[in-house]
Amino acid sequence: MRSTSPRGCVRGFGVGFLLAASVYDLLIASGLHNVLWPSVTVLLVGFAAVLWPVDRGPRWLTPQLRTAVPAVVSALFTAGVLLTGRAEAPFGPGEVAVLLSLLFIAVRHCSWPWVLVCGVLDSVALLLLPVRHYRSSQDEVLAFALVGLVLIGFTAGLAAYLRSLDYRRAVTISETRRAERVAIAADLHDFVAHHVTGILVQTQMARMMAARQPQDLDPVLAGIERAATEALASMRRTVGVLRDTGPEPADRRPVGDLAAVTDLVEGFATPAQKTVLHRDPVVSDDLPHEVQAAAFRVVQEALTNVRRHAGDATRVTVGLACPGGRLEVTVTDDGHGGTQLPEAAHGGGFGLVGLTERVTALGGELHAGPRGGVDGGAGWQVRAVFPAGQ
């Protein structure tokens, strides 16, 4: 929850290494008095394929294309050297690193069966590199080919392992979202049942009053109209997220509300940890039931994460406010990330995924991050904002 990704540093180091290795390739070619343009062409095509940002590339620049074309260009260079009988052409660590990077991209990101096709192309192009320079010496070719097979196996294995992690994480997130949608469906049932029951009771009253007190019917009919409107609003806000159906949950979780937040906060505190609830007086108990339930779940999940990830926190503050006609729920702690829980009890990091699904389904927003941007102190803050209209 509190870790920072080293992806940017790794990418910067990788780019620097590729540049240095490619310059070394060109120095080798220049020292052997070879024509530079074939090596420059192969390296430029490879660089473009490896370093072009995926989110800024055109649609036709698929992982299959970006991993297959540089391999074909490299293989054609090798074939041209062999077929034309030219002098021995060099190869260096730059081209090797580019082809290994493309193999990594192919195995991790290409779809089946292109992962096999592109992976084989990159591997073959890499294994053919020694033939350019050592075609008259079979022992050197075999020695470099053996090293190449080791590098290919390591790179492909690492990429396949990371691909499996990506798949398992995607499945876990999908299951988490589905479970949350099933829970929302159960909540929707409770919300609508509450409103419909009210409509039924008030309709019975209206039928009795029609004969005895017709002058007092208007307030009852207004209540029926209000209950029906709230039921329709509940369904409209919630049913959009239920894109698939699933079995009824074996056990129904109790639906919390804003009143239950007080008990939740009071039950959370420990002798070493002060927990405070600040509730703005303008926050009404008459907010839509689904909004109150989602607010309760935000507080519940945030407090659970404090216990998991910030056992050293001395103060936890829960806030309920209504700025600009919107319900704002905040949970802030002053911990530094210390905890005495075993690693297995830290959770899988998917609680916020389910909360985000629930909050956005109601038209709200959820943010979680260090509270340094709030007041410069240590700790963490979870903040959710919901539309508070009836």
- Chain segment 211-233, per-residue pLDDT in tens: 777 777 777 777 777 777 767 76
Is the model's pLDDT at 8 over the cut of 60?
Answer: no
CB 88 within 8 A of CB 132: yes
Residue 29 corresponds to which tokens in the numbers above? 């070619």
Handedness of CA 286, 288, 294, 295 (dihedral sign): negative
Q: Which amino acid appears at position 291 of this protein?
A: V
Q: What is the mean pLDDT of the chain?
A: 78
Is the model's pLDDT at 374 over the cut of 90?
Answer: no
How many alpha carbons fall within 13 Å on the CB side of residue 143? 7
Question: What is the C-alpha to C-alpha distance for residues 386 and 290, in angstroms, rounded to an integer?
Answer: 10
Contact residues for 181 (Cβ-Cβ < 8 A; gap 6+): 241, 242, 243, 244, 246, 357
Is the model's pLDDT at 186 over the cut of 90?
Answer: no
Look at 174 and 239; give whichever has higher pLDDT: 174
Q: What is the DSSP letter of 35?
A: -
What is the per-residue pLDDT for 294?
Answer: 87
User: Cα–Cα distances in Å, from 85 out to 36, 80, 146, 325, 327?
Assistant: 17, 8, 25, 79, 77
Instruction: Tell me whether strands 274-279 and 315-321 are parallel, antiparallel or unpaired.
Output: parallel
Percent of the chain past pLDDT 70, that is, above it, reads 75
What is the per-residue pLDDT for 253?
Answer: 41
Look at 250 and 174; give whichever has higher pLDDT: 174
37 alpha carbon, distance to own chain's centre: 43
Nearest to 253 by CA among 300, 217, 214: 300
What is the per-residue pLDDT for 153?
Answer: 93
Look at 171 and 267; give whichever has higher pLDDT: 171
Query: Where do we find the tokens 């989110």?
Result: 55
CB atoms within 10 A of CB 283: 17
203 alpha carbon, distance to own chain's centre: 48
Query: 3.40.50.300, 3.50.50.60, 3.90.1150.10, 3.30.565.10: which CATH number matches 258-387?
Result: 3.30.565.10
Q: What's the pTM value of the predicted model, to 2 decimals?
A: 0.55
Instruction: Tell me whether strands 380-387 and 315-321 are parallel, antiparallel or unpaired.
Output: unpaired
Question: What is the C-alpha to C-alpha distance for residues 57 and 34, in angstroms, rounded to an integer?
Answer: 34
Handedness of CA 330, 336, 339, 345 (dihedral sign): positive
Nearest to 385 by CA among 360, 353, 350, 349: 360
Beta bridge partners, 329, equal: 320, 384
Compute the average pLDDT of residues 7-11.
59
Is the model's pLDDT at 348 over the cut of 70?
Answer: no
Is the model's pLDDT at 322 over the cut of 60?
Answer: yes
CB 105 within 8 A of CB 51: no
331-344 tens-digit pLDDT: 999 887 765 544 54
- In 3-state terms, what secondary structure has residue 195? helix
Domain boundaries of the chain, sorted by first residue:
7-136, 177-239, 258-387
Is the model's pLDDT at 255 over the cut of 60?
Answer: no
Percent of the chain past pLDDT 90, that is, above it, reads 18
Residue 313 corresponds to which tokens in the numbers above? 């926190």
What is the per-residue pLDDT for 3?
Answer: 45
What is the per-residue pLDDT for 344?
Answer: 44
Residue 176 corresponds to which tokens in the numbers above? 């988490």
Look at 210 and 71; give whichever has higher pLDDT: 71
Q: Which amino acid appears at position 216 of this protein?
A: D
